[in-house]
Amino acid sequence: MLQTIRSLKPERLWNHFSDLNEVPRPSKREDRVTAFMKNFGENLGLSTHVDHIGNVLIQKPATQGMGHKTPIILQSHLDMVHQKNANVNFDFETEGIKMKIDGDWVKAEGTTLGADNGIGVATIMAILESKNIIHPAIDALFTIDEETGMTGAKELKGGLLKGKILLNLDTEDDDELTIGCAGGVDVTGKGTYTQIFLHGEHQCFKLSVTGLTGGHSGMEIHKGLGNANKIMNRVLNDLNHEIDIKVNSIDGGGLRNAIPRESFCLLAIPTDQVKTFKNIVSSLRTIFKIEYNTTDPNLDIQPIQIEKFDSIIAPEDLDKIINVIYSCPSGIYRMSRDIPGLVQTSNNLARVLVKNSTFELMCLTRSAIDSEKKDLSNVIRAVFALIGASVTFKGEYPGWTPKPGAKIVKIMEDIYTLKFNSTIKVAACHAGLECGIIGTNYPEMEMVSFGPNIRGAHSPDEKVQISSVQKFWDYLLEVLKQIPDLSEVK
């Protein structure tokens, strides 16, 4: 099947994507993919530089007759989100992504695909390698750690890039130009609890919430997708009010930028209350399947009996933990009043880990308005303060302020209209893009983000549309031909 993917059009793009997907490239561990890109640039005989943090810059001169055009930056990030279904046996550290074709889509087998942002990287590679594509001088910038902190963009030094127009290839709708995005901050709440021994006659269970859709916590936060951490907590809250549950641990979600799909809890039930426990779980399963029938039709909640464990969370601490998870905001906080349909501020309760006398809740708070991002972060901090837990803020990055009047935006709108006989949307998005960060060192640079149709990013359902990749490629090649003269971009 890999060879079939390699034969898709445009072939060089898909071949580079296939090569890239053979290289493990989790966020914060990009050494292998950085070396891969460095070798790629050097083997082409192009000026190749790896900066102090691991970003790769490959520079290619303008093709004949394009030297008077404005130099550009083609930019994508090297890292990918590593997520897999619980029943999939896959090692992201050693294995290449296993891809398959499903109609007009390329998918992975039970894992994230890496189209975000591997398709962008592969596109730039194909242009760098080409000997017949018309283009101005190119700075090809490949950043690291976009998905978990945007460290690469934050550490990028001023004066390194010569381009005056940045084309970021990290948007997931082929009929949209993105010209602005939200900023974000990682919010983490931590605390401790008392462990006690489990006494009396109990049956122990592993309670699982699985089958949720998951997805990108920025681009898909408006869809009302189920959050496994919040659903698990609702189950535990109801059980805790009806019967005498004893909880050993809770483990749900994963990366901050992914809406959590699964959560697991080890708990003990008094033997004489097991039937009631199962009835409550069954009833809640029915309720949740009705609530989430549209967004998460495969949602499931199951108790599986396991071997008995010895330690549990002290009841008074369990109450606090359930209450703080219940109170932690997750989802849309405020919609934009200026741009219809745009989420302005949100929070994703991405990770819940309660184990070995400590609990940790990990969130990603996003907003297009820095003051509102701070406000929501403070709401979360106040929730944790009520139970004496600590909160830290890390990895903050700014939003990207739209410049709808930029010359490159008008050029790309006109090209799209003529080429596809329709109007392209020009909008801001709620996801975090690196443009705003890069712009802090290059404030005069014109920036646009665009890309092919990608669905289910940050989840094992991630897929990229084959026909859309061809459309995106054709569009990009025309844009490269029509980059304005250097004198026209101030």
The partner residues of 311 in beta bridges, in order of sequence, read: 197
219, 268 contact by CB (below 8 A)? no
Distance from C-alpha of 323 to C-alpha of 234, rounded to nearest angstrom: 10
Nearest to 33 by CA among 75, 82, 84, 80: 80
User: ω before 378 within 30° of 0 (cis)?
Assistant: no
DSSP-derived letter for residue 405 is: T
The partner residues of 463 in beta bridges, in order of sequence, read: 107, 455
95 is catalytic: no
Distance from C-alpha of 25 to C-alpha of 78, rounded to nearest angstrom: 7
> Which one of 30, 116, 146, 462 is the catalytic residue?
146
146 is catalytic: yes
**Given the structure tokens 């050693």, which residue do they identify?**
94
Sequence letter at residue 220: E
243, 270 contact by CB (below 8 A)? yes
- Residue 162's CB: how many other CB atoms inside 10 A? 13
Distance from C-alpha of 445 to C-alpha of 11, rounded to nearest angstrom: 32
**Both tokens assigned to 242:** 């009806």
Grouping H, G, I as helix, E, B as strand and the rest as coil, residue 252 is strand
Length of the chain equals 490
Distance from C-alpha of 369 to C-alpha of 216, rounded to nearest angstrom: 20
Nearest to 131 by CA among 57, 64, 49: 64
Give whole-number Cα distances, 440 to 157, 369, 399, in Å. Answer: 10, 16, 10
**Both tokens assigned to 446:** 């014109």
Q: Which contiguous run of DSSP H or E holds residue 318?
A: helix 315-327
DSSP-derived letter for residue 80 is: B
> Which one of 30, 79, 186, 317 is the catalytic residue?
79
Catalytic residues, by residue number, are 79, 146
